[in-house]
Amino acid sequence: MKMRSPFWSILMFVSFLAGVAMPTGAVEITSTAKQAYITDFLSGKVLFSKNADEPMKPASMAKIMTVFVAFQRIVDGSLKMDDEFVVSTKAWKKGGSRTFLEVGSKVTVSDILHGIIVQSGNDAAIVMAEGISGTENAFADEMNFWAKKIGMSSTNFRNSTGWPDPQQNTSARDLSILSTKLIKNFPDLYKMFAEISFTYNGIKQGNRNPILYNNLVFGADGLKTGHTEESGYGLTASAQQKNLRFILVLNGMTSMRQRKQESSRLLNSAFREYKKINLYLSDDNVTKAKVFLGEMEAVPLVVKQDISLLLNSIEQREMIVKAIWNEPISAPIQKDTELGKLLIKVSDEKTLSFPLYAGKGVNKQSFFKRIGSTIDFIIWGSVK
């Protein structure tokens, strides 16, 4: 409801973050990777992007979707962790990283998942695909179904392993979407990605995710590496510190060492540079507006939602918060009526807007009081 009045009132909170230590400068995030993309898990805010939509080969990072499909089957009840699948000759013969499954043997879904997630076993991925869909080609169709459903617009899967195929492509943005959905949809099952090692058939193998070791990145708990000659070395990773979780995708590195150093550096830079600023809680009073002809001289203006922003050091320092409303506001005023806006400028390109509501109802003054208030306003411009 828009109230007509003689003028607009604007209240600027130029010292909104008074008392908060502000950095004197910001660290610019850069990367030597061919493709790199960092997002905030909860808000989806992009913290860093380099060629995020450029077509790239997923390599073994395609196995994240293989696991996603299996998790989906487990959640809907059509697949159980103790179900068993038979290892085919195709799976047994597959080269690359392996779980060392024996041809003709029966393997539980739990062991297959650990083989895919921890050991990046191509044999385990094929056994899962054939066990769920009958053939790996049919399973790739299911992978693409889910890719389209969750918004991976630049992805086409051709197999369950990420094995090189001319028609198999993805993007850093799409792998970030996939990883975010997997963690949100399957939080309990996702915990497997943090396991450091897995032993099968007497062979112990460590998790290939480099950021899980030696506290290179505090709070790292997944997801998956990838490597082919064509794609280079890549990693899709997640780490959580306090109330923040960031998703990182990078690809095109030249060595395992470079992948390890670059992924750790990027995540640590992001956690150092970005902070979550809690501005208001729902029903917090932002300011007060003068009331004309009301039993109260002012009405509190409140927000009706929690407002938290993830900001880098420059945005924190330069943020401007403004409350605007028509003043004076004529009584009667019903509680929760929209009366103004809270504007938060975080950069020259971005200003956020939130409605401001009446925190209380305000009745009209009595007839005789209204006469006096109207005279004061006409003569002196004052509002009582």
Select which of 31, 88, 97, 120 is catalytic.
120
Instruction: Please tell me the distance from the alpha carbon of residue 354 to that of residue 28, in angstroms, as a whole number.
Output: 29
- Say which of 63, 94, 224, 275 is annotated catalytic: 63
**Active-site residue (options: 34, 50, 57, 60):** 60
Whether residue 5 lies in the annotated active site: no
CB 157 within 8 A of CB 188: no
Distance between CA 188 and CA 183 in Å, rounded? 9
The number of residues making up the chain comes to 384
Sign of CA dihedral 94, 100, 101, 102: positive
DSSP H/E element including 185:
helix 172-185
Omega prior to 332 cis, within 30 of 0: yes
90 a catalytic residue: no
63 is catalytic: yes
Q: Residue 289 carries which DSSP code? A: E
In whole angstroms, give the CA distance from residue 124 to residue 136.
12
Ranges of H-type helices in 192-331: 256-273, 313-318
Gap between the Cα atoms of 239 and 245, Å rounded: 6
Active site residues: 60, 63, 120
